[in-house]
Amino acid sequence: MGFNSLHRQVGLITLSRNAAALCMILALLTFCMGVSAAADIGKRSPLLKSRMEQLRANDRLDIQGVVITGKFVPEFYRQRAYELAWESKAGNALDLLVQIRASEQEGLVPADYYAAEIEQMLAAASKTDLSDSQRVDLDIMLTAAVVRYAYHLRFGKVNPDTMVAGRNMQRSFNSQDPLVEIQELIDSTAFNAELDARISQLPLYHRLRDALVDYRALRESGGWPTVPAGPTLKPDMQDERVVAVRQRLVVTGDLAADTPAVEPLLYDRALQDGVEHFQLRHGLDVDGLIGKGTLAAMNVTVDARIDQIRVNMDRARWVSQELPKTFVMVDIAGFRASLLIDGEVAWDEPVVVGKPYRETPVFREEMTYLEMNPTWTVPPTILAKDILPKLKKDPAYLEQQKMQVLTMEGKVVDSATIDWASTSARGFPYMIRQTPGPHNALGRIKFIFPNPHMVYLHDTPSKALFDRSSRAFSSGCIRVKNPYRLAELLLQDDDNWNREKIDLAIDSLKQQRINLPESVPVLLLYWTVDVGQDGEVYFRDDIYQRDKKVLVGLDGKYHFDAPTDSPDWLKN
């Protein structure tokens, strides 16, 4: 029930009309810049040098009603010996203007790139020759704009390291000199293609961009109606709110517009199908009941959904440099994990992730081995908050859970000799470890990608939780449905292992470590919007309340955070 492409075509037509109007400016601009500045091309501009010295000294430069900041622009011009960069690049200047005006299609804000000010100056240039001061200001603004826009396309506007604690994914120039890169972009005879190459190649990003066009078109057409509050609506009920529900679902394609209604106020079978489709797309229990959760999701505004899509587009830019062809990805907010082999999904299953107060972190590490019939050593946080309180109430808890007390050297201690009532987690001198077997909290297999968070993927004896729509129940680790198939795929290049041998090893109850033939990257990511290959848009609850902070940064002022491999002049 995805939207058709008409909205996108309309958007492109509108953009092309704007571009056509700007072409008239280009014709005059080329003449104005070319004639008035011909004698100065290739020569130093004392006025430009003065502007850059002012910017370097004050860390800001006020020109034409905008403020230029940062170290990149003055260093760029210093290395050019203060020659203007755009004088013979009028075509690229126009292309840049068209791109930054259309930056909303990337979920970005045109004002960040001086779109209105640059357009005003180009329009002025179409009517009269620019003064030397105006030419210099226009050149500076164009350079600052292309630096900002290229930076945002490549890395995202929001710095993820300020959003997510413990994140270890690097923002890198990949050993490229950023000054040379910008100069080559400005000089390129294929400017649009070069700039577009900085857009995330993640397939999800491009599907999110299409969804953004669709939802903005919905906003332009009036959005969707609010469904009034009231008792839970159930199939076969008669209720005046059914009319609003039907209208609401038609707008987003969950219910076909030509679906016949048996009776206007009857919650009939066709409407139930639409409700269940909506519930599926929004991570709700698919039960056809319009209770508080479903009603709340229906009444989220189109503006809020647009912002949610934009937030996830920036998240996609954060990881655009991180994705190899073969990797495991955990979608924390979507409660799913996938194994991609050579870019194709080979395994995709539900997972259980950390509770809101024990969040599963976002990071990347290399999976190097898996362990069959693992023991489980209770982590300090779980020991303090869960295990010790239970032991104080019932010292037999350890025996019931097949747990042992061990010294830090691994020697078994008789738990009956410990005064649990007076034991504190602070300075606790022992480890508590659960023996292997079907009772083990980690199930029969775990997948290890060493990390400081002590987080890993593992089997679980608690299979029923996979049937829940919202699955934030763990203490941070990721519980996996159908882990045996994942193990089989990870070991498929090892002649010593196949599914039968994996099953036999597990049945033996013998604890066994198996190194992978090659390490496999594991990315733990957080998406609150997903888009299927068919264009179906799936919204998820922001279980860790992270979207708002990203949105504030996305709509806030421009700020440059130097990537990890930046040259010293850019960092300091």
Comparing 267 with 8, the larger pLDDT belongs to 267
**pLDDT of residue 409 exceeding 70:** yes
Mean pLDDT of 512-537: 96
What does each C-alpha distance from 14 to 8, 20, 208, 302 come to in angstroms?
10, 10, 20, 22
- CA quadruple 533, 535, 537, 538: dihedral, nearest 10: -20
Please, where in the chain does CATH 1.10.101.10 lie? 227-298
pLDDT at residue 26 in the model = 54
Can you spell out the DSSP letters for 530-546?
EE-TT--EEE---TT--
| Model pTM score | 0.89
- Report how far residue 15's alpha carbon sits from residue 389's, in angstroms, rounded to the nearest whole number: 63
The angle at the Cα of 365, spanning 472 to 107, to the nearest 5 degrees, equals 65
Record the tokens describing residue 36, joined without a space: 């008035």
* Residues facing 445 on adjacent strands: 372
**If pLDDT is split at 50, 70 and 90, which confidence band does 9 have?**
very low
Q: How far apart are CA 231 and CA 292, in angstroms?
A: 9
Q: Which CATH class is domain 227-298?
A: mainly alpha
Say if residue 411's pLDDT is above 80. yes
C-alpha distances in angstroms, 490 versus 339, 343, 498, 534? 9, 15, 10, 28
- Of the pLDDT bands very low, low, confident and very high (cuts 50, 70, 90), residue 25 is low
Of the listed ranges 180-189, 291-300, 418-427, 503-512, the one predicted with least confidence: 418-427
Q: Does the pLDDT of residue 10 top 50, yes or no?
A: no
User: Which string of b and e fits 374-409 if b means at least 16 CB within 10 Å?
Assistant: bbbebbeebbeeebbeebeeeeebbeebebbbeeee
- Give residue-wise pLDDT tens across range 233-252: 999 999 999 999 999 999 99
Residue 125 is predicted with a pLDDT of 82
pLDDT > 70? residue 456: yes
Confidence of residue 2 (pLDDT cuts 50, 70, 90): very low
- Rounded average pLDDT over 142-162: 95
CA distance 367 to 426: 32
Give the range among 37-46, 124-133, 270-279, 491-500 with minimum mean pLDDT.
37-46
Residue at token pair 């990949």: 174
- Domain(s) of CATH 2.40.440.10: residues in the chain: 324-534
pLDDT of 459 > 50? The answer is yes
- pLDDT for the residue 572: 65
Maximal CA-CA distance, the chain: 94
pLDDT at position 22:
54
Tokens of 208: 């999110």
Mean pLDDT within 365-369: 97
Token digits of residue 266: 């009857």
Please determine, for residue 30, whether its predicted confidence score (pLDDT) is greater than 80. no
Confidence class for position 552, pLDDT limits 50, 70, 90: very high
CA–CA dist 338, 328 (Å, integer): 6
pLDDT reported for residue 6:
28
Instruction: Give the pLDDT confidence score for residue 560 in this predicted structure.
Output: 86
Average pLDDT, the chain: 90
> Quick one: average pLDDT of 264-282?
97
Burial track 134-171 (b if 16+ CB lie within 10 A, e otherwise): bbbbbbbbbbbbbbbbbbbbbbbbbbbbebbeebebeb
Mean pLDDT of 364-368: 96
Contact between 412 and 404 (Cβ < 8 Å): yes
pLDDT in the model for residue 21: 52
Q: Two tokens at 381?
A: 């946080």
Quote the CA–CA distance of 121 and 29 in Å, as a whole number.
10
Question: Is 524 in contact with 365 (CB distance < 8 Å)?
Answer: no
Cβ neighbors of 41 (< 8 A, separation 6 or more) are 83, 84, 87, 88
- pLDDT classification of 262: cutoffs 50, 70, 90: confident
Distances (CA, A) of 324 to 212, 277, 389, 523, 548: 26, 33, 44, 10, 29
118-122, 147-151, 159-163, 501-505: the lowest-pLDDT one: 159-163
Are the C-beta atoms of 375 and 406 separated by less than 8 Å? no
Domain 324-534, classified CATH 2.40.440.10, yes or no: yes
Six-digit token pair at 490? Answer: 């990870």
Interval 183-199: pLDDT, tens: 999 999 999 999 999 99
